[in-house]
Chain A
Amino acid sequence: MSSKTSEFFLGARAIMPHHLGVFPFGLVFGVIAMTNGFSVLEAILMSSIIFGGASQIVFVQLWAAGVPSFIVGSSVAIVNLRHLLYSASLKKYVENLPLRWRLVLAYLLTDQSYSVMVQRYRAKEISQFSHYYFLGSGITLWAGWQLATIVGVLGASFISTEWSLTFAVSLTFIAIVAPLLKTRSDLIACLVAGVLSIALQPLPWKLWLVVAGLGGIAAGWIASTINKKNRDLE
């Protein structure tokens, strides 16, 4: 097997565990889209056009609640901010690839493929074909997401809320966030965002999401700045 194909399949295999969270997530998205009055075509194509679980759920909920379009757009943008970080972090591995590769890999960049790629690049041997690993993991996740969306959309009336599938969505995010909590300022960012997300629930247009996100980022950053100053003084 050439190392292009083997990298591709290793990537596909590495991302498999994430389907345990992604599949229920896609189902939930399909069901939520249908119960909020989206058409079959709108719901299914959204998974290709946006291809981001959290963004799609936020989009559907805000749109159905009659929130103004620019607030829908800003909320999706805030939810997406983390991709900027992923993009910056993987930049050095992809910057010498041809444009078509960079376009495709950017489209396939998700929380899951990022976490798989970071581990791949940390490995001792970096193959010159490791972008095939990225492609393999990305396409596999994409296919799983599309399949889950279709099953969710078509099976919306059969899928019971008693199965607690929305909880699987929270669990996928817990699996991503918990390993990121390493320093005191990480913990502060997490706590502030969590408290604000509950305290600000009365805000209109579900703005609590945007404000709690930005508040958590600011808190973590301020805490790290203060911490650094204290260390400099010692």
Chain B
Amino acid sequence: MIWFVMIIAGMITFSTRFSMFNKFIAQKMPAWIEAPLHYVPIAVLTAIIIPEILIVDGSINFSIVENLRIAAAGIAILVALVTRNVVATIASGLICLWVFQWLL
């Protein structure tokens, strides 16, 4: 069962990637799909990021003092907006988190 569902999930993943590379269907994407599609990476990735930062041991923690990820993520977001550099973003976030953990 697990293999069956895993292979289905793999096929779903591959078919979204191959969707517009194929020559059999969809020569051009309809406009009503293309416009909302622009927001997909932003919305989906944000929905993954935010709970990952705010949920600590199964419950939501908004406290900037207790939940050190909030401040570290805030700094990483600023670095990402300013530098647009992958290494700088990840490194600044991790270093801030480790420093905060060490300080507190």
Contacts and interface: CB of A to CB of B under 8 A. Distances in A.
9 contacts: A72-B5, A84-B20, A91-B21, A105-B21, A170-B49, A177-B41, A216-B42, A217-B44, A220-B42
Interface in A177-234: 177-181, 185-186, 189-190, 192-194, 196-198, 201, 208-209, 212-221, 224
Contact of A198 (B8, B14, B50, B73): B50
A54 interface: yes
Contacts of B6: 42, 45-46, 49-50, 59
Interface residues of B, number: 63
A80 B37 CA distance: 12
Contacts of A107: 14, 17-18
Interface of A: 17-18, 20-21, 38, 42, 45-46, 49-52, 54-55, 59, 63, 69, 72-73, 76-88, 90-91, 94-95, 102-103, 105-107, 109, 111, 164, 166-181, 185-186, 189-190, 192-194, 196-198, 201, 208-209, 212-221, 224
The 7 A-B residue pairs whose C-beta atoms are closest, nearest first, are A216-B43, A178-B80, A220-B39, A106-B18, A212-B47, A49-B10, A87-B20
Given A17-B85, A77-B16, 12 more contacts: A88-B34, A94-B21, A107-B14, A167-B97, A171-B73, A172-B90, A174-B49, A189-B46, A194-B50, A201-B55, A212-B47, A220-B39
A59 B46 contact: no
Nearest to B51: A197
A91 B21 CA distance: 6
B87 A197 contact: no
Contacts of A45: 6
Dominant SS among interface residues on chain B = helix
Contacts, number: 252
Contact of A196 (B29, B47, B80): B47
Interface of B: 1-3, 5-10, 12-14, 16-23, 29, 34-55, 60, 69, 72-73, 76-77, 80-81, 84-87, 89-91, 93-94, 97-98, 101
